[in-house]
């Protein structure tokens, strides 16, 4: 019923575009201090502002069918907490008129964002912190009890046993969240594990449409699976006998298995809308969440135009809430990291020491190794079969020719594919969907080959037919073999789950990478965490491939993406917050970053899956998260709101733009620092050529302040590794602390020779600085970039 109403609303939303020109949802930021006193409430003022607009345009807001039917104000959302203002459905001229209205600070188009598994829309798996390996952090944190993690995602399947309340203490008394009931989501859905659930569909209803064939249920219920997966990764209680179709069998448990989950459903089949994300930030902060986890992102837009960054600023600075977010799946190219504001903990993805190996044996005896989650008992497996390249199978229709190599549905000629194993290229369509295309064309098996940019990273998929994903160099061999052999043949074999894989971790090819598209002076991502082949809970109303013809239902699913790595850091943050309730979000993030490790389980430098070479900081940030060491960092880099304002001023954001983010008036003429002086736990400096000094040497001084988090007398000594071609001096090189909360300052003098670069190019070298008291190590990567502008 509810569901039908929803689609009805979507149909109506087409009307105004036809009659009055295209409407879009806009987020309007307002200076609430300017509210004239004649208006009894902000809402009344906003409504009046909107009505005055419509008087001068061709429509009135009363006719807007997108508006909440219970009032005719035209307002969609009123934001109160992390943001001041409202959202409304407007035509472009109306939006322009609003921009010049007194009291209005900014008007931003409400863009849809995507879940971070979209590039690798496969089904990966997670075995999180194991209960058989008790560790100190888990016990000192009481497994996260008393900490509420807000999960902004596709909702949750509350019937999953990962969200059972057994043994779960009550939420903290400050918790004010509520349980919004609706279809498939009765009041009994919430309990001491799932302490809050809401949904935010206003932006979506006004600005989006449901994907063909998808069911959007207007309640916090998760019809997709992604939100159930991320929530259980954070705080799922232990579930015995878990596996995905037999893969990765064992106990499934969240990272903080006694933490509380509050679900804010912001993603629908047609996307996740900025205004809904902002409204969810508002609610999560008002409700009293301690951590916000967001595995959703769009492009790396300027901070004041990005609702995630605006919402996260208030959460971090005014409400003490750490925001952990995914760096996106658009790697391995440069500047692909998203959710990069300096007050967000940006999480990239890496492999774990588990994989799902499968082999491709070519007729000439060559064996290529890959990965697969294919689990069927298909009789065609493990025998010699004819092999063909999808690009040679195109059905003759011209428009489809270039799609065939990617195995899009309907592009493969069944007469040519029947009974064969088909080699498809990775990209363009979801990998599992390629399997469906081959199956529909009568193929009996499939190989998916990485393209050059995908490198050697393979993501295991729960294919509907026997299929293996292989890396770029293996793919080249398969291509060569097919194109030089008269009757190529192949044999696929599947080897289940392998653990203790070395090397691990390895930075995932798809993980969004720096440098930051918004600031050269902040290394992003901040940290990497497990994000490949992660097993976690799944909804029982969606198949593990999310493909409609896939009728399988599984209790768990194996997924890969930074969507999976972000909830690991959210769960770790919950444990740290439970252990150290007095730590600020800046202290929590500093602890996570400065204790990260940069060596794999062979003791070598972390590798990058995309190249097979050593990974750099643009890929792994400060390194791989190390929860036990993060619990006892010794020293942290604290950050205040003023530090961030100074950073934004020195980054040349205008006072108006900064006000959009901070909600307070700022005066940049008082700025005191350079952007590299933000007291961030990592350091990035850039030399813009031509060199500004006469000597040909370039020097900058980087300021940092450390705060002790231990009540102890301790002496820390500095050490460092200089980036190649760079000279560094740390002054002083010894810091003495005698109590918790004590602060000490130091500077890093960084100098380098100009060198020569071609116009429009840059080059970065990496090093680090580190403080140690003999037991603890507080490490910060240093990036030095030479940049030659055009
Ligand atoms: C939606 O899917 C159905 C069934 O697959 C198809 O007939 C219809 O044309 C699709 N509609 C759109 C708008 O793509
Ligand atoms: C198959 O495709 C490859 C690459 O597109 C091409 O070089 C080759 O000639 C094709 N073979 C046949 C038999 O069409
Ligand atoms: C999901 O599965 C559980 C347990 O089998 C069942 O209680 C619940 O009703 C199912 N939910 C849906 C939406 O099918
Ligand atoms: C990996 O390193 C080798 C040796 O330094 C280099 O030749 C190669 O270009 C690198 N590969 C990539 C993809 O960067
Ligand atoms: C800000 O603008 C000043 C003056 O134009 C310029 O020197 C400086 O490099 C800019 N800073 C940044 C971070 O872009
Ligand atoms: C900003 O601060 C400067 C220096 O303190 C002062 O001269 C100026 O009037 C201030 N500007 C505003 C808009 O308050
Ligand atoms: C640090 O040393 C001083 C002087 O020896 C002593 O008075 C103080 O109690 C010590 N502080 C701690 C936390 O041990």
The residues of the chain scoring below 50 in pLDDT are 1-20, 56-72, 114-135
- 412: phi then psi, degrees, rounded to nearest 5: -100, 135
pLDDT at 120: 22
Mutate to test the pocket of ligand 5, among 518, 652, 654, 669 (most ligand atoms within 8 A of CB): 652
Instruction: Dig out the tokens for 321 from the structure.
Output: 């809430």
- pTM for the whole structure: 0.86
Q: Is 184 in the pocket of ligand 3 (CB under 6 A)?
A: yes
Mutate to test the pocket of ligand 6, among 649, 669, 672 (most ligand atoms within 8 A of CB): 669
Strand partners, 734: 717
Centroid of ligand 3 to alpha carbon of 159 (angstroms): 6
DSSP codes joined into one string, 587-650: HHHHHHHHT-B-B-TTSSBPEETTTSSB--HHHHTT-B--HHHHT--SEE----HHHHHHHHHH
Q: Is 667 in the pocket of ligand 6 (CB under 6 A)?
A: yes
Q: Which residues are catalytic?
A: 153, 226, 563
Q: Is 675 in the pocket of ligand 5 (CB under 6 A)?
A: yes
Q: Is 213 in the pocket of ligand 1 (CB under 6 A)?
A: yes
Centroid of ligand 5 to alpha carbon of 669 (angstroms): 14
Among 297, 288, 351, smallest CA distance to 324 is for 297
Centroid of ligand 5 to alpha carbon of 626 (angstroms): 37
pLDDT at 238: 87
Mutate to test the pocket of ligand 4, among 608, 613, 618, 724 (most ligand atoms within 8 A of CB): 613
Ligand 3: atom nearest CA of 540 is: 1
Measured CA to CA, the distance from residue 129 to residue 169 in angstroms comes to 20
Q: Which residues of 587-597 are buried (b: 16+ CB within 10 A; e: fewer)?
A: bbbbbbbbbbb
Strands 743-753 and 697-708: antiparallel
CA distances from 750 to 143, 274, 699, 768 (A): 42, 40, 6, 12
pLDDT at 58: 38
> Relative to the alpha carbon of 410, which ligand is closest?
1
pLDDT at 563: 96
> Relative to the alpha carbon of 669, which ligand is closest?
6
> Relative to the alpha carbon of 452, which ligand is closest?
4
Ligand 7: atom nearest CA of 711 is: 13
Instruction: Dig out the tokens for 666 from the structure.
Output: 């700022």
Q: Is 670 in the pocket of ligand 6 (CB under 6 A)?
A: yes
> Relative to the alpha carbon of 668, which ligand is closest?
6
Centroid of ligand 6 to alpha carbon of 71 (angstroms): 43
Q: Atom 7, ligand 6: which residue's CA is nearest?
A: 669
Mutate to test the pocket of ligand 2, among 387, 417, 451, 483 (most ligand atoms within 8 A of CB): 483
Q: Check if the beta carbon of residue 16 is closer than 8 Å to that of residue 66.
A: yes
Q: Atom 8, ligand 1: which residue's CA is nearest?
A: 212
Ligand 5: atom nearest CA of 519 is: 13
Among 490, 487, 454, smallest CA distance to 360 is for 490
Q: Atom 11, ligand 1: which residue's CA is nearest?
A: 212
Ligand 5: atom nearest CA of 652 is: 1
Centroid of ligand 4 to alpha carbon of 614 (angstroms): 9
> Using CB atoms within 10 A of its CB, is residue 334 exposed (0-12), middle (13-18) or buried (19+)?
middle
Q: Check if the beta carbon of residue 706 is closer than 8 Å to that of residue 735.
A: yes
Among 598, 601, 596, smallest CA distance to 504 is for 601
Measured CA to CA, the distance from residue 15 to residue 11 in angstroms comes to 8
Q: Is 712 in the pocket of ligand 7 (CB under 6 A)?
A: yes
> Relative to the alpha carbon of 692, which ligand is closest?
5
Centroid of ligand 1 to alpha carbon of 50 (angstroms): 37
Measured CA to CA, the distance from residue 5 to residue 154 in angstroms comes to 20
Measured CA to CA, the distance from residue 395 to residue 414 in angstroms comes to 8
Q: Is 613 in the pocket of ligand 4 (CB under 6 A)?
A: yes
């Amino acid at each position: 019923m509810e569901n039908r109403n929803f689609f009805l609303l979507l149909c109506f939303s087409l009307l105004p575009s036809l009659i009055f020109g295209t409407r879009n949802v806009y987020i309007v930021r307002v200076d609430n201090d300017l509210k004239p006193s004649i208006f009894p409430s902000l809402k009344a003022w906003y409504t009046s502002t909107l009505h005055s607009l419509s008087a001068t345009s061709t429509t009135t807001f009363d006719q807007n069918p997108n508006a909440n039917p219970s009032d005719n104000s035209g307002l969609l959302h009123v934001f109160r907490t992390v943001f001041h203002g409202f959202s409304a459905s407007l035509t472009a001229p109306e939006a322009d008129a609003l921009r010049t209205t007194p009291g209005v600070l900014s008007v931003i188009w409400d863009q849809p964002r995507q879940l971070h598994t979209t590039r690798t829309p496969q089904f990966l798996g997670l075995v999180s912190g194991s209960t058989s390996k008790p560790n100190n952090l888990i016990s000192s944190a009481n497994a996260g009890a008393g900490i509420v993690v807000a999960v902004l995602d596709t909702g949750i399947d509350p019937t999953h046993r990962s969200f059972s309340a057994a043994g779960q203490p009550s939420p903290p008394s400050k918790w004010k969240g509520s349980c919004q009931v609706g279809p498939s989501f009765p009041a009994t859905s919430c309990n001491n594990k799932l302490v809050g659930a809401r949904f935010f569909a206003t932006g979506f209803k006004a600005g989006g449409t449901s994907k063909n064939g998808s069911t959007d249920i207007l309640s916090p219920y998760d019809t997709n699976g992604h939100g159930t997966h991320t929530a259980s990764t954070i705080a799922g209680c232990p579930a015995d006998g878990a596996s995905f179709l037999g893969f990765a069998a064992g106990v499934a448990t969240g990272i903080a298995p006694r933490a509380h989950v509050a679900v804010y459903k912001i993603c629908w089949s047609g996307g996740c809308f900025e205004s809904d994300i902002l409204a969810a930030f508002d609610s999560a902060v008002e409700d009293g969440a301690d951590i916000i986890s967001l595995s959703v992102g769009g492009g790396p837009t300027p901070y004041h135009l990005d609702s995630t960054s605006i919402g996260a600023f208030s959460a971090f600075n005014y409400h003490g809430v750490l925001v952990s977010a995914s760096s996106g799946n658009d790697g391995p190219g440069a500047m692909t990291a998203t959710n990069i504001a300096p007050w967000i903990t940006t999480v990239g993805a890496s492999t774990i020491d588990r994989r799902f190996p499968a082999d491709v044996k070519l007729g000439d005896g060559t064996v290529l190794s890959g990965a697969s989650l294919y689990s069927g008992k298909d009789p065609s497996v493990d025998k010699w079969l004819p092999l063909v390249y999808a690009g040679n199978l195109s059905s003759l229709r011209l428009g489809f020719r270039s799609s065939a190599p990617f195995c899009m549905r309907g592009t493969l000629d069944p007469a040519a594919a029947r009974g064969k194993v088909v080699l498809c290229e990775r990209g363009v369509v979801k990998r599992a969907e390629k399997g469906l295309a081959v199956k529909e064309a009568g193929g009996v098996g499939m190989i998916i080959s990485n393209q050059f940019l995908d490198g050697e990273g393979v993501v295991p998929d729960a294919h509907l037919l026997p299929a293996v994903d292989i890396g770029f160099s293996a793919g080249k061999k398969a291509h060569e073999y097919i194109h030089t052999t008269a009757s190529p043949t192949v044999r696929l074999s599947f080897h289940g789950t392998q653990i203790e894989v070395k090397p691990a971790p390895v930075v995932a090819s798809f993980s969004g990478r720096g440098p930051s598209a918004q600031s050269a002076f902040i290394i992003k991502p901040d940290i990497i965490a497990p994000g490949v082949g992660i097993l976690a809970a799944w909804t029982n109303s969606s198949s593990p491939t999310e493909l409609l013809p896939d009728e399988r239902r599984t209790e768990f699913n194996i997924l890969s993406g930074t969507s999976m790595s972000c909830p690991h850091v959210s769960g770790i943050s919950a444990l740290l917050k439970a252990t150290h309730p007095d730590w600020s979000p800046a202290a929590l993030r500093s602890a996570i970053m400065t204790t990260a490790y940069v060596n794999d389980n062979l003791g070598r430098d972390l590798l990058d899956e995309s190249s097979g070479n050593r990974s750099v900081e643009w890929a792994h940030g400060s390194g791989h998260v190390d929860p036990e060491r993060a619990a006892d960092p010794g020293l942290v880099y604290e950050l205040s709101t003023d530090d961030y304002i100074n950073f934004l001023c020195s980054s040349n954001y205008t006072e108006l733009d900064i006000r959009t983010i901070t909600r307070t008036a700022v005066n940049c003429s008082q700025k005191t620092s350079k952007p590299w002086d933000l007291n961030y736990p990592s350091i990035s400096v850039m030399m813009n050529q031509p060199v500004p000094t006469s000597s040909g040497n370039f020097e900058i001084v980087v300021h940092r302040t450390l705060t002790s988090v231990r009540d102890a007398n301790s002496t820390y000594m500095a050490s460092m590794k200089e980036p190649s071609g760079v000279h560094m001096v740390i002054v002083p090189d010894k810091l003495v602390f005698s109590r918790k909360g004590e602060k000490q300052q130091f500077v890093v003098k960084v100098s380098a020779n100009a060198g020569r670069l071609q116009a429009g190019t840059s080059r970065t070298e990496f090093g680090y600085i580190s403080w140690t008291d003999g037991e603890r190590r507080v490490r910060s990567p240093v990036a030095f970039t030479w940049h030659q502008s055009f």
